[in-house]
Chains A and B, each alone.
Chain A
Amino acid sequence: MIKVELKKRLGSFFLDAELSDEDFICLTGKNGSGKTTLLNLIGGILAPDDGYVMLNSKQITNLPIEQRHVSVVTPDSCIPHLDVDRHLVWGAMNKRLHIERDYIAEVKTGLGINFSGKVSKLSLGMRERLAIATSLISNPELMLIDEALSNIDNHPDFIDAFKNLAAKTRIDVIFTTQYPDDSIQSDHHYRLESGKSVRIF
């Protein structure tokens, strides 16, 4: 369960957003509406001017990124010098989690990680699949996916598989997308309009 009320001024732009939901949440809005700013505030990359972030009833507003149990995935998210198999378990190793091989295989199959090699040599779509898979395996409480689905082919199928895996491990997800149709696959849909959040369902 994620509950936020956040205010942030960046130059002439003012974000004043509220969100309170769980499971698979879609966030849409035009370019410059504040989607990335909102995710960066929730993820701890930006500090809010005012407001709070509650995750599963815990106040995380002022925690550093690494202590939030929130994983932010963007199209640039990866650790380029690793190979695919080491990358997949890198986050879990940081958290000293014991991950069953079967679960790793299930994530790889579900998210279409049927490639190997050095991460820096992968295509953008492959890196996005890998970044999301790595994040899932590291078992955060919340995943923030910022435009990191758009380069994945067959992405409606990918979203379905991702949603099922996240639900299985009880990870909440907020994802932004350029495609309004993606919201049909989500449990909740919010739209940002000039920095103000509107709950669609």
Chain B
Amino acid sequence: MNWLKLISTFSLALLIVPVFLLIYEGFGPLSEPIGYSYEVFRAIELTLISSAISAAISVAVFTPLAYYLARNKNSLGETLSAIPASIPHPIIGVAILVIVSPLTPFGRFLLSIGINFFNTYLGLITALTIVSAPIYINSMQLFFQSMNVAHENYALGLGASKFRTFVSVALPNSGRGILSASLISMSRAMSEFGSISIVAYYVLQQPFYGVSPAPVLIFQYYTYYGLGAAVTASAVMILVSIAMMIILRLVNHDNSK
């Protein structure tokens, strides 16, 4: 008997069975029409767009940090970059609100120049970026560490600065890694609830005025309409998430060829 296969199958089932059970119940016995409502699809649309933007911000802002951490031993930097992923996410939400609190001088200053995180796209995307960026950084750091540094050492020996080597040698060969890491980051952002339930329970800006992110809406449905509505909306959201995961696997598959 292949015990390793048996144990692996069991542990995989532990992860997957509740998800498939929820899909079955959501589209079957517990199905509620409100779970397929326009409001649900708008919420999923908002979640997809805001998560994609947060992933794009992670790529633009955090790729150099991931490269730096991959090429230099820096335990402090690694620890600091992982902090947002290792503390309860409602704390991130509270921290973001404190930044723009009218109770602090800095918050009053930001509000006076029109920067507000509360129930805005800015707040939603900031929260999603902070909670998902550590995962992006970690994925890209591992990717850069797996690259052959001979190309970079050669470029440095040809007189290129470290930044030029990053931009002109490492980055052009990192397309697949960036795509894969940004999809992981986006998946993580799509599943975020803790911080955005505090910062952006709903968005009060067009074109998604009054729309809640999908995880928040599912929580609302659970508290307002009960289990059936929440399970149905969750099943729809899970199908979207599975589609994302399939894309991710396809990218990784191509990457490993």
Partners in one complex: yes
A interface residue numbers (CB < 8 A to B):
43, 45, 64-66, 68-74, 76-81, 90-91, 94-95, 131, 134-135, 138, 140
CA distance A79 to B165 in the complex (A): 10
> Contacts of B173 on A, CB cut-off 8 Å?
80-81
Contact partner, B153, options A72, A81, A90, A134, Cβ 8 Å: A72
CA distance A64 to B168 in the complex (A): 18
Report whether A90 and B157 are in contact in the complex, using a CB–CB cutoff of 8 Å.
no
> Contacts of B82 on A, CB cut-off 8 Å?
none
In B70-119, which residues have CB < 8 Å from any A CB? none
Question: Lowest 8 CB-CB distances: which A-B pairs, in order?
Answer: A91-B158, A76-B150, A77-B154, A65-B156, A71-B157, A94-B159, A81-B172, A95-B159
* Given A66-B162, A74-B150, A79-B168 contact (CB < 8 Å): yes
In B14-42, which residues have CB < 8 Å from any A CB? none
Q: Does B223 reach chain A (CB closer than 8 Å)?
A: no
- Of the candidates A45, A65, A76, A81, the one having the most CB atoms from chain B within 10 angstroms of its own CB is A65
Report whether A79 and B169 are in contact in the complex, using a CB–CB cutoff of 8 Å.
yes
In B33-54, which residues have CB < 8 Å from any A CB? none
In B141-163, which residues have CB < 8 Å from any A CB? 148, 150-151, 153-162
B interface residue numbers (CB < 8 A to A):
148, 150-151, 153-162, 164-165, 168-169, 172-173
* Given A66-B162, A94-B164, A79-B154 contact (CB < 8 Å): yes
Within the complex, the shortest CB–CB distance from B162 to chain A, in Å, comes to: 7
CB-nearest residue of chain B relative to A67? B159
- Of the candidates A79, A81, A95, the one having the most CB atoms from chain B within 10 angstroms of its own CB is A79
- Kindly count the residue-residue contacts between A and B in the assembled complex, taking CB atoms under 8 Å apart: 67
CA distance A91 to B172 in the complex (A): 17
* Additional A-B contacts beyond A72-B154, A77-B150 (4; CB < 8 A): A43-B157, A73-B157, A76-B154, A140-B159
CA distance A79 to B173 in the complex (A): 9
CA distance A140 to B159 in the complex (A): 9
CB-nearest residue of chain B relative to A138? B158
> Contacts of A134 on B, CB cut-off 8 Å?
158
CA distance A43 to B148 in the complex (A): 17
> Contacts of A135 on B, CB cut-off 8 Å?
157-158
Contact partner, A43, options B153, B162, B164, Cβ 8 Å: B153
Within the complex, the shortest CB–CB distance from A198 to chain B, in Å, comes to: 27
Within the complex, the shortest CB–CB distance from A108 to chain B, in Å, comes to: 17
Report whether B160 and A94 are in contact in the complex, using a CB–CB cutoff of 8 Å.
yes
10 residue pairs of the A-B complex, CB under 8 angstroms, read: A66-B157, A66-B161, A66-B162, A66-B165, A71-B158, A73-B154, A78-B151, A91-B158, A131-B154, A138-B158
Within the complex, the shortest CB–CB distance from B208 to chain A, in Å, comes to: 39
Report whether A76 and B157 are in contact in the complex, using a CB–CB cutoff of 8 Å.
no
Report whether A140 and B157 are in contact in the complex, using a CB–CB cutoff of 8 Å.
yes
Within the complex, the shortest CB–CB distance from B166 to chain A, in Å, comes to: 12
> Contacts of B169 on A, CB cut-off 8 Å?
79
CA distance A134 to B165 in the complex (A): 16
Report whether B151 and A77 are in contact in the complex, using a CB–CB cutoff of 8 Å.
yes
CA distance A138 to B160 in the complex (A): 11
> Contacts of A79 on B, CB cut-off 8 Å?
151, 154-155, 168-169
> Contacts of B148 on A, CB cut-off 8 Å?
76
Within the complex, the shortest CB–CB distance from A174 to chain B, in Å, comes to: 13
> Contacts of B161 on A, CB cut-off 8 Å?
66
* Given A76-B151, A80-B151, A66-B156 contact (CB < 8 Å): yes
> Contacts of B165 on A, CB cut-off 8 Å?
66
- Of the candidates B158, B161, B162, B164, the one having the most CB atoms from chain A within 10 angstroms of its own CB is B158
CA distance A80 to B169 in the complex (A): 8
CA distance A77 to B156 in the complex (A): 11
